[in-house]
Amino acid sequence: MALTATARDVLEGAFMPLWVRGEVSDFKAHRNGHWYFCLRGEDAQLKCVAWSRERRRIPAPPDDGMQIVALGRLTVYPARGEMQFSVTRMEAEGDGLWRKALEQTRVRLQADGLLDPSRKRALPRYPRRVAVITSRDGAALRDIYAVVQRRCPSVEVVLVPAAVQGDSAPESLCYALDQVARWGDADLVIIGRGGGAREDLWAFNDERVARALATCPVPTISAVGHEIDMSICDLVADLRAPTPSAAAEAAVPVQSELRERLRMSAETLSALASERVGRARTNAADLARGVALGVARRVDRRRLQLESSARRLHAISPLGTLDRGYAIVRTGDGRMVRSVDGLQPGSRVEVVLRDGTAEATVERVMPNDQSTMSPGAVAGAES
Amino acid sequence: MTFEASMERLEAIAARLEDDELDLDTALALFEEGVAELRAASAFLAQAETRLKQLNEAADGMFRIDDLRD
């Protein structure tokens, strides 16, 4: 079996890694994670393997019949005496593999309802603090900061650093999203990076990142690359911004508009308050007037009562009777004379009038035939 | 209290102050509260330069935000 081993040494030493073009056939994804397939040319075929640990850069498995170019090296598998091409990278015509990978991820996310438009949350109108998941050194952070500073410097920008390209990027982005969720003190999160090669942006098409983004408790904006690039994160985020700058534009309001709103709010409050106080003052004045009026009415009524009482009092007072021209006749000892009985010529009497008293002597006594009526009876009160 | 919360509270206060049946004491208390919200919102807008920070997580899971220097 030294022959097979020697053949391996010769073959494996003879070629640098190289690109091979062909049509895929007999593709099998083994349970152990490795892929086995054939690449066919017009009159030749090459057995291929893509080891699971070596195909991180291959976005999706190829389909049978697909035209691809594969980067690999020629190896010999001594146990089976077979020559096989060990593939580490693969490109399909028309970006076939990338599109296929994207489509597969999209279908899985859609099946779980993560692309449902009804999941999209509204962004906060006035965020106080915006978390930015991106590379510390990238253009994205600088662009976002510049826009926030121009539009609304009151808003704080908090970088949550993450690798945005390379093999560790998906895990790093997931970790940053998890941190934002556990921190819980951001009003909004922007996740993204500036433009780059398709492979550089690939982390934002990673299904794990998309799922972490979908479960983020804070509203999200994705901002990946330039306008033409569309990522899986774009589909999942609450808002897709074409660039990091556009994300910042969408995230923060313009400060002068906030000032204007605040000014209007202050005016409204002030107008309402002064109107309310004015109404209260009018009410109080009305009330005071009402009270005064009531008092006056009561006083008037009292006065009328008093006057009427006074009139009644006057009417029954003997003085009133005297006013009307009557007189009271009294004997010398002060007794009121009510009848001619007891009077005889020569009796001394007093005649009391309204304004004085006169002393008189009776000249003659002339009883009436019916002597029940006498002027003296009108004044009934003893003096 | 965030700017958004202040603005929402101010709108709610304005709506209540429009109620003619509101008694004067309540109206004045609402007005006072509104003035406090206006102050808080103005303070937010007074910031002239955007603060740039970085989120840092300590080993015990506590978060700190530190200034980020360019």
**pLDDT tens column, A53-99:** 888 778 888 888 888 889 999 988 888 888 899 999 888 876 677 77
DSSP string across A133-172 = EE-TTSHHHHHHHHHHHHH-TTSEEEEEE---SSTTHHHH
pLDDT confidence bin for A306, thresholds 50/70/90: low
* More confident call, A313 vs A30: A30
User: Which tokens is A187 given?
Assistant: 């009003």
CB A231 within 8 A of CB A247: no
Inter-chain Cβ pairs, chain A and chain B, closer than 8 A: 108
> Are B14 and A161 inside 8 Å of each other by CB?
no
Number of domains comprising chain B = 1
A256 interface with B at CB cutoff 8 Å = no
* Average of per-residue pLDDT across B50-54: 90
Select the residue of A136, A154, A160 nearest B44 (Cβ to Cβ). A154
* Average of per-residue pLDDT across A185-192: 94
A259 interface with B at CB cutoff 8 Å = yes
* Rounded distance between C-alpha atoms, residue B4 and residue B26, angstroms: 24
Identify the closest residue of chain A to B9 by CA–CA distance: A265
* Average of per-residue pLDDT across A199-213: 90
Chain A interface test: which of B21, B49, B50 (most A C-beta within 10 Å): B50
- Digit-coded pLDDT (tens) for A326-343: 778 888 777 888 888 878
Over 60: is that where the pLDDT of A319 sits?
A: no
Whole-number pLDDT of residue A381: 39
* Average of per-residue pLDDT across B24-34: 84
* Average of per-residue pLDDT across A267-277: 81
Over 80: is that where the pLDDT of A317 sits?
A: no
* Average of per-residue pLDDT across A246-274: 87
Domain containing B20: what range? 3-67
Select the residue of A128, A145, A269 nearest B34 (Cβ to Cβ). A269
* More confident call, A189 vs A306: A189
> Are A154 and B45 inside 8 Å of each other by CB?
yes
- Digit-coded pLDDT (tens) for B15-25: 888 887 778 78
Whole-number pLDDT of residue A373: 46
DSSP A117: G
Chain B residues in contact with A269 (beta carbon < 8 A): 10, 13-14, 17, 31, 34-35, 38
> Are A136 and B27 inside 8 Å of each other by CB?
no
> Are A153 and B4 inside 8 Å of each other by CB?
no
Chain B residues in contact with A276 (beta carbon < 8 A): 17, 22, 24, 27, 31
Whole-number pLDDT of residue A65: 84
Whole-number pLDDT of residue B70: 55
* More confident call, A300 vs A179: A179
* Average of per-residue pLDDT across A347-359: 85
> Are B68 and A159 inside 8 Å of each other by CB?
yes
Over 80: is that where the pLDDT of A194 sits?
A: yes
> Are B7 and A148 inside 8 Å of each other by CB?
no
* Rounded distance between C-alpha atoms, residue B3 and residue B41, angstroms: 5
pLDDT confidence bin for A238, thresholds 50/70/90: very high
* Rounded distance between C-alpha atoms, residue A148 and residue A143, angstroms: 9
- For chain B, what is the radius of gyration of the CA atoms? 19
Over 80: is that where the pLDDT of A106 sits?
A: yes
> Are B4 and A183 inside 8 Å of each other by CB?
no
* Average of per-residue pLDDT across A340-362: 85
* Average of per-residue pLDDT across B3-17: 86
> Are B54 and A161 inside 8 Å of each other by CB?
yes
* More confident call, A283 vs A153: A153
pLDDT confidence bin for A375, thresholds 50/70/90: very low
Over 80: is that where the pLDDT of A263 sits?
A: yes
> Are B55 and A179 inside 8 Å of each other by CB?
yes
- Å from A192 to nearest chain B CA? 16
Whole-number pLDDT of residue A229: 64
* More confident call, A265 vs A182: A182
- How many Cα atoms are found within 13 Å in the side-chain-facing hemisphere of A143? 22
> Are B14 and A155 inside 8 Å of each other by CB?
no
Chain B residues in contact with A182 (beta carbon < 8 A): 61, 63
* Average of per-residue pLDDT across A257-282: 82
Whole-number pLDDT of residue A380: 39
CB A192 within 8 A of CB A204: yes
* More confident call, A238 vs A116: A238
Whole-number pLDDT of residue A209: 94
Select the residue of B28, B42, B68 nearest A262 (Cβ to Cβ). B42
Whole-number pLDDT of residue B8: 87
Whole-number pLDDT of residue A378: 42
User: Which tokens is A211 given?
Assistant: 């799922």
Over 50: is that where the pLDDT of A158 sits?
A: yes
pLDDT confidence bin for A105, thresholds 50/70/90: confident
Sort A132 into a burial class: Cβ within 10 Å, 0-12 / 13-18 / 19+. Answer: buried
* Average of per-residue pLDDT across A19-31: 90
Over 50: is that where the pLDDT of A20 sits?
A: yes
Is the ipTM of this structure higher than 0.90? no
Cα–Cα–Cα angle for A270, A272, A276, nearest 5°? 115
Over 80: is that where the pLDDT of A313 sits?
A: no
pLDDT confidence bin for A377, thresholds 50/70/90: very low
* Rounded distance between C-alpha atoms, residue A43 and residue B65, angstroms: 64
Residues on chain B bordering chain A, Cβ-to-Cβ distance under 8 angstroms: 2-4, 7, 10-11, 13-14, 17-18, 20, 22, 24, 27-28, 31, 34-35, 38, 41-42, 44-55, 57, 61, 63, 65, 68
- For chain A, what is the radius of gyration of the CA atoms? 58
pLDDT confidence bin for A41, thresholds 50/70/90: confident
Whole-number pLDDT of residue A300: 76
